[in-house]
Amino acid sequence: MKKFLYLLLVFVFCIEVAGAQQRPQYTQYVFNNYLLNPAVTGIENYTDVKAGYRSQWTGLNGAPVTSYLTINAPLGSNFLQGDATAFPASGGENPSSRLYTQNYMAAEPHHGIGMTIVTDQTGPITQTNIDATYAYHLGLTDRVNLAVGVSAGVSHISLNTSEITTENPLDPAISNGNNSQWKPDLSIGVWMYSSTYYFGASIQQLLPQNLYFSTNNSYNQSKTVPQYFLTGGTKIFMTDDITLLPSFLIKVIEPTPVTFDINAKFSFRDKFWFGGSYRRNDSFGVLAGVNISSFINIGYSYDITTSGLNTVSNGTHEIVIGLLLNNRYKVTCPQHMF
């Protein structure tokens, strides 16, 4: 009976996470919006590489653990060699300054390409998404750009039955099924941006897929659902050196209630930043980051759980390391992903 109750709890937990969080969630999405929207591909004037690790609800056995690697870069000689947003060889004005925004001009039309690899493990279930991305950026006005993007690839989901103990070794919910599956994956997005604000909308999991491991009709009703994201952010100059950067993220995932994140961070020139976040009915977070050089930057966040899991969770840790390759203008912080 104890084994049955344990199995029931594991499956309820996995079903809850799979239903409401079929894709990983991120506190530091403001540091890498590329994870949520393919239209961000190639937005910066260098090759942007990021590696991230997130341990959610630490202390809870089987809680989600996410790791990822992303890379994207712009294409087009006009953008790379002489567009209006390019910095001189010395580095020029930092993107958080008033002077930079006053002199800002929209980027030349250009393409962007990239790739994302995201692995998310929750209990015995592991999902890995491998996607190639493409975006096209064009100027709406002399100070505003619009980008449209698409992400396409595959999703691999597997069930490690060795981590599950059942009362019946031939439990029909997991036996004689396909415990290692490949599915197609497709996402689209749009992104409008200037020197002082951005708005974006995207849809992930455009192709609904079956999400079960049994051939028994009593256990094969689960499916993936499209996930909708709407985000935006702006710059508010506090002083010549300090900038406030508020942002939001709204997530719509049927049939769960609409949820949202609210973030705000303070940036000191192009050296370091810190801030906080709130996720509805889930957590409060603190964030901090430092731009070590024109080659590397680091961000860290810690979430304090406010949901019913706070009695067993020690919070959530997330760290992101960014590399700025082919950074010919030696910028030390993103020009557009502020």
The distance between the two most distant Cα atoms of the chain, rounded to a whole number of Å, is: 70
DSSP state of 310: G
| Whole-structure pTM value | 0.84
DSSP state of 240: S
Distance CA(151)–CA(141), nearest Å, equals 26
8 Å CB contact between 127 and 117: no
Burial class (CB in 10 A: 0-12, 13-18, 19+), 58: middle
Q: Which domains does the chain have, with CATH numbers?
A: 2-173+183-325 (2.40.160.40)
8 Å CB contact between 283 and 58: no
**Phi, psi torsion values for 302, nearest 5 degrees:** -135, 125
Tens digit of pLDDT per residue, the chain (338 long)? 333 333 334 444 444 444 445 688 899 888 899 999 999 999 998 999 999 999 988 877 888 999 999 999 998 766 654 454 455 444 556 666 666 777 777 888 899 999 999 999 988 889 999 999 999 999 898 889 999 999 999 999 888 776 676 666 666 666 666 778 899 999 999 999 998 899 999 999 998 887 766 666 566 667 788 999 999 999 999 988 899 999 999 999 888 889 999 999 999 887 899 999 999 888 899 999 999 998 999 999 999 888 877 677 778 999 999 999 988 878 888 877 77
